[in-house]
Chain A
Amino acid sequence: MNAPWVHLSTDERVAWHWNRWRRAVPAAVALFAALALAAPMLAPAPVVPLLPLLCLIVWGLYQPRLMPPWAALLIGIASDLTMALPLGVNATLMPLLAIGLREVGARLSARRFLVDWAIAGPLIAVYQLLALGLAGLVGTVRDPSLLVGQVLLSWALFPAIARAAAWAQRRIGFA
C-alpha cells in the first residue's frame, strides 16, 4: 500500500484493513467458539463439544502459521473462563498443543485426511485427561469417566470443522 491514505476510496480502505486483519480470522473464530462453551446446556455430564480445541487442532495441523502458540494462549484463557475451570488449565495446554502440532505437521507432510481424523480422537481424549489432571492439581479432583460422551462427540465433529476451515481458507485466501 503505497498511495497516501487520503487518496484511497472507501472500498480501498476496507480492502486494506481486511488484508491486514484476515490472518486473525482463525484465532478470532476459535475465540468466538469459546463462547459456545458457556451455553445454557445443563446436563449431568459434559455435552457441549470442544469447539475451540477442534479449531486449534484443525488450524494448528494444516496452517500452523495462522494458529501461533500465543494465539492458542488467548484461546485457552477464553476457554478456561467460559468452562469455569481454574484459569491456566487450557491456557497452558493449548500453546503446548499448538507447538506440538506445528512440529509434527511439518515433519509428516504427506498423509491422508482419514489418518488425521483417526489421530484426532485419541489426541482429544489425552488432552481432556491432561486438562482434568491439571485442574485436579490446582483445584478439585473429578471423575474422568463422565468425559467419554463429549470426547466422542468432539471427535465426530472433526471432519465438519476441518471442512469449514478449508472453506474459510478458500474464501478468505490467507496468504
Chain B
Amino acid sequence: MAWPTTRPRSGGSRRDARGRLIGAALGVGAVAGGAMLLAIGRIAPERMRGLRAATLDLSAPVWDVARVPVQGVQDVAAGVGDYWDAIGRARRLEAELAATRREAARAALFAAENRRLKLLLHFTETDSRRIAVARVVGGSGASLVETAVIGAGAGTGVRPGQPVVTDAGLLGRVTEVGVRASRVLLVSDNESRVPVRIVRTGAPALLAGVGGGWAELRFIGSGPEAAPRAGDLLVTSGEGGLFAPDVPVARVESVHGEIARARPVASPATLGLAVVQSAWMPPPSAGAAPAAGLAAAAPAPVRMAVMVNP
C-alpha cells in the first residue's frame, strides 16, 4: 500500500479553522439533506417518482448491454450442468412424460366439456391484454427488496400496477415506470400480496411475500379440507381484479401448523423474457393500489367479489 502520508496539520491558523468550520457545516448539511429525503419519501412518496423513473431509464440500457457476457457465462455453466446425470434424468423424464400424456388427454376432454358448458351458460370471458414483451435487464440484487427491471416502460404503455408474467407463471406487478424501463415487484417481496386459490381444494387464500425467495399463505378459506399440503399448486384467483384468474403463482413447499411456505413458480433463475399484461378487471377507482382484499377469506364467486370491491 503506497498511500501518501497525510500532511501534518498546521494547527492554530485562522484560515484552517475557517476551513474546518465550513467542512463541518457541509457535513451536517449533507446528513440533514439525507434525512430530509427520508422525510419527504415518508410524507409524499410520489414526489420521488420522477427521480426513480430517470434512474430506471439510465441503468437499464447499461445492463442490457453488460448482461450479454454474464448471460454467456450462465449459459455455459447450464450447458455443463445438463450433462451431469443426463441418463438418469432422461429416464425420470420419460416416466413423467408417459404419466403426463394420460393426464393431458383427460384435460383435453375436460376443456372441451368446459367450453360446451360455458356456451350453454352464455358465459363471457374477460381476457387480459398483452401490453409489452420485454427482457429482464436489471434487478435489486444488492438489497433485500426483491424487484426486477424490465426493458419496457411508459413508451409502450406500461403503467404501475400491471401484472407481469413469464412462461412459468406470475412474476409480479409493475411498481415504477420509466420511459423505456420499469420495475417489477416480485411475488416473494415483503410488500407483495397476491390473492390466490389452492388448485386441489379450490380454497381462496392470500399469498404474502416474506423475502428470501419465499411467500406464505394467509387467510386460508375455512374448512378442514381447505388446508394446504406440500406440493399444492397456487393460481391467481382473480380476486381484486388486478391479476387475471388461473395464472400459476407458487407451489407449497412445506406446511408447519398454520404456516404454509410456498416458492414462486417464476423463480429468478429461470428469468429471460417477461410479458406485461393489462390489469384484468381494474376496480372503478382505477390506478389505485391493488385491492389485495381481506375479502379473500370469503369464498365468494370471483366476479361477485370484483363487484363488491370498493
For A170, what are the chain B residues with a Cβ–Cβ distance below 8 Å?
A: 2
B26 interface residue (CB < 8 Å to A):
yes
For B139, what are the chain A residues with a Cβ–Cβ distance below 8 Å?
A: 38-42
The chain B residue sitting closest to A116, CB to CB, is B1
* B144 contacts A142, C-beta separation under 8 Å: yes
* A87 contacts B23, C-beta separation under 8 Å: no
Within the complex, what minimum Cβ distance (angstroms) separates A67 from chain B?
11
For B188, what are the chain A residues with a Cβ–Cβ distance below 8 Å?
A: 44
* B211 contacts A96, C-beta separation under 8 Å: no
A11 interface residue (CB < 8 Å to B):
no
How many B residues touch the partner, as a band? 35 or more
* A113 contacts B35, C-beta separation under 8 Å: no
The chain A residue sitting closest to B136, CB to CB, is A40
Tell me the bound Cα distance from A99 to B29 in angstroms. Answer: 11
Q: Which of B33, B62, B147, B214 has the most CB of A within 10 A?
A: B33
For B55, what are the chain A residues with a Cβ–Cβ distance below 8 Å?
A: 38, 78, 81-82
Question: Given A84-B183, A166-B1, does the pair A95, B144 have CB atoms closer than 8 Å?
Answer: no
For B27, what are the chain A residues with a Cβ–Cβ distance below 8 Å?
A: 68-70, 95, 98-99, 102
Within the complex, what minimum Cβ distance (angstroms) separates B33 from chain A?
6
* B211 contacts A138, C-beta separation under 8 Å: no
Per-residue 0/1 for A71-104: is the Cβ within 8 Å of any B Cβ (1 yes, 0 no)? 0110011101111111111111111101100100
B280 interface residue (CB < 8 Å to A):
no
Q: Which of B36-44, B110-118, B239-247, B248-256 contacts A (4 or more CB under 8 A)?
A: B36-44
Tell me the bound Cα distance from A89 to B145 in angstroms. Answer: 13
* A113 contacts B1, C-beta separation under 8 Å: yes
Tell me the bound Cα distance from A46 to B23 in angstroms. Answer: 35
Contact residues of A between 115 and 140, Cβ < 8 Å to B = 132, 134, 138-140
Contact residues of A between 42 and 62, Cβ < 8 Å to B = 42-50, 62
B4 interface residue (CB < 8 Å to A):
yes
B279 interface residue (CB < 8 Å to A):
no
* A143 contacts B33, C-beta separation under 8 Å: no
* B33 contacts A91, C-beta separation under 8 Å: yes
Tell me the bound Cα distance from A119 to B298 in angstroms. Answer: 54
The chain B residue sitting closest to A132, CB to CB, is B144
Question: Given A35-B59, A70-B30, A87-B51, does the pair A42, B136 have CB atoms closer than 8 Å?
Answer: yes
Per-residue 0/1 for A138-175: is the Cβ within 8 Å of any B Cβ (1 yes, 0 no)? 11111100110010000000000011001001100000
For A43, what are the chain B residues with a Cβ–Cβ distance below 8 Å?
A: 141, 213, 268
* B38 contacts A38, C-beta separation under 8 Å: no
Contact residues of A between 1 and 55, Cβ < 8 Å to B = 35-50
- Cross-interface CB contact of B142 among A72, A83, A169, cutoff 8 Å: A83
- Cross-interface CB contact of B190 among A46, A82, A140, cutoff 8 Å: A140
Q: Which of B60, B66, B140, B269 has the most CB of A within 10 A?
A: B140
Tell me the bound Cα distance from A45 to B146 in angstroms. Answer: 9
* A47 contacts B141, C-beta separation under 8 Å: yes
Tell me the bound Cα distance from A140 to B146 in angstroms. Answer: 12
Question: Given A40-B63, A98-B27, A166-B1, does the pair A83, B140 have CB atoms closer than 8 Å?
Answer: yes
Tell me the bound Cα distance from A92 to B42 in angstroms. Answer: 14
Tell me the bound Cα distance from A35 to B142 in angstroms. Answer: 11
B212 interface residue (CB < 8 Å to A):
yes
Contact residues of B between 177 and 200, Cβ < 8 Å to A = 183, 186, 188, 190-191
For B48, what are the chain A residues with a Cβ–Cβ distance below 8 Å?
A: 87
The chain A residue sitting closest to B6, CB to CB, is A109
B149 interface residue (CB < 8 Å to A):
yes
B227 interface residue (CB < 8 Å to A):
no
Q: A42-B139, A84-B140, A169-B3 are in contact. List 15 more A-B contacts (CB 8 A).
A: A36-B142, A40-B70, A40-B139, A46-B143, A63-B3, A68-B26, A73-B34, A87-B40, A87-B48, A87-B52, A91-B38, A92-B35, A113-B1, A139-B191, A166-B3
A-B contact pairs, 12 of them (CB 8 A): A38-B139, A38-B140, A39-B138, A40-B138, A44-B146, A44-B268, A70-B29, A82-B140, A83-B145, A93-B34, A113-B1, A141-B190
